[in-house]
Amino acid sequence: MPQLAAPTDAIVKVTRTTICGTDLHILKGDVPSCEPGRILGHEGVGIVYQVGAAVSTLKEGDHVLISCISSCGKCDYCRRGMYSHCTTGGCILGNRIDGTQAEYVRIPHAETSLYRIPPGADKDALVMLSDILPTGFECGVLNGKVEPGSTVAIVGAGPIGLASLLTAQFYSPAQVVMIDRDPYRLEMASRFGATACIDSGVDDPVAKVMKLTAGTGADCVIEAVGVPETFELCQALVAPGGIIANVGVHGVKADLHLESLWDRNISITTRLVDTVSTPMLLKTVRAGRLDPESLITHRFRLDDVLKAYETFGDAARSHALKVIIETA
């Protein structure tokens, strides 16, 4: 049972959580800041159980969405809306401090890291707002400056790529092309509104995208995988004047082909999700403009969390996108 450690903390009784690709990276040992014994998980919804003395905007019994990013709201980074780099917060939940794959979790900077939700709201759908939707939207769609009539290519049709696909449609792009090697995920993408899907295990994605764009390439290319090969593919897909918006978590160096890009007027962006768009995304979900529940493929009880990890980790066979873990 976690205890309040600062007056700005809250203890939240977790009702739903999920597993993220980042959790798999942690299990593989790719994230040294996460020490053995840590409770994982940085996504979820729950009910406020206890608040510290300095918390005035939340009270026991409030239903809340837990943001994957903890932010103090006061440091220089937070004042600029860059919550991901908060000097006493950021990406700490389920990493540097115990996370949400548990019955209860301690949330630091509770007032600025939790979002109140109505008691009747669809809790499963809202879990998608802790991380993947703001990540796909902020790092992919906003940084990639998706515009009405523009052409978007998304490399990687996993949960994050699909979250970018869903939120790119806020801006009415003319084309959204999804590229992946998993036919099941591409089928989901076409159901979620992709105008073209390219199986890069079968077809040459560069030739196909050039054909779809009359030889120019895509105005916005979103990298949602995180390996050198896909980052290099993005460089071959981007149109003159376009943007490569990197979302993927890269563990090794990737080549930048300046010899072919130096005169193309392109930009490359990187970002750790700030979750500044969370209030807006909450409104779109509540208004039925966005249906993140479609990303949920499996459901488990907390007792079966190992099975949940197995299923999520073997997505090629299980066809898992997001798994919901019911904790209460």
Residues in touch with Zn ion (CB under 5 A):
20, 22, 72, 75, 78, 86, 131
State the minimum distance, in angstroms, from the CB of residue 73 to Zn ion: 6
We find the least distance from the C-beta atom of residue 306 to Zn ion, in angstroms, to be: 19
Q: Give CA torsion, residues 166, 317, 296, 50, to 10 deg.
A: -120
Task: Name the residue nearer to Zn ion (CB basis): 66 or 237.
Answer: 66
How far, in Å, CA of 77 to CA of 244, rounded? 24
Return the number of other C-beta atoms located less than 10 Å from residue 328's C-beta. Answer: 12
Q: Specify whether the CB–CB gap between 186 and 208 falls below 8 A.
A: no
Helix (H) or strand (E) holding 197: strand 196-199
User: Is 2 in contact with 98 (CB distance < 8 Å)?
Assistant: yes
- Minimum CB separation of residue 40 from Zn ion in Å reads 10
Complex with Zn ion: residue 88 or 267, whichever CB lies closer: 88
Residue whose entry in the numeric block shows the structure tokens 């072919």: 260
CB of 10 to Zn ion, least distance (A): 17
Nearer to Zn ion, 98 or 131 (CB): 131
Q: Which is nearer to Zn ion, 38 or 145 (CB)?
A: 38
Q: Which residues contact 215 (CB under 8 A, 6 or more apart)?
A: none
Q: How far is CA 250 from CA 83, 113, 164, 215, in A?
A: 21, 26, 18, 29
Nearest CA-CA partner of 246 in 321, 94, 142: 142
Q: Which is nearer to Zn ion, 139 or 218 (CB)?
A: 139
Q: Which residues pair with 220 in a beta bridge?
A: 152, 243
Q: What minimum distance in Å lies between the beta carbon of 91 and Zn ion?
A: 8
Rounded least distance, CB 146 to Zn ion, Å: 22
Q: Select 81 or 240, whichever has its Cβ closest to Zn ion.
A: 81
